[in-house]
Amino acid sequence: MSENANTVDRVKDVVGIVFKTEAQALAEDTRFVEDLRSKSMNTIELAAMLENEFGVPVSCHVLRKYKTVGETATLMDGLLGNG
């Protein structure tokens, strides 16, 4: 799980927009496929919006290996050099 609460909140905000749900309703263990019914187009949109939010490239192929909001926040921390 991400050490940086700010990263988790930012990821939740982006996930909320992509999946049209309230960010406050998301937890670090919220699963993309099982809980949010993610499809491949959602992964592409999520990658693009995370790139926009954090200013670092995010590969769709890498992103789809991360199954939860918390795992994605950890990925973003790593890409930012925070992890």
**Dihedrals phi, psi of 9, to nearest 5 degrees:** -60, -40
> Domain of 71?
5-80
Tens digit of each residue's pLDDT (9 = 90 or more) over 18-60: 999 999 999 999 999 999 999 999 999 999 999 999 999 999 9
Q: Which of 44, 52, 51 shows the shortest CA–CA distance to 75?
A: 51
The span from the CA of 50 to the CA of 80, in Å, is: 12
pLDDT for the residue 24 = 95
Q: What is the CATH number of the domain that holds 15?
A: 1.10.1200.10
Strand-pairing partners, residue 39, are none
For the chain, the domain total comes to 1
Torsion of CA 69, 47, 67, 79, to 10 degrees: -80
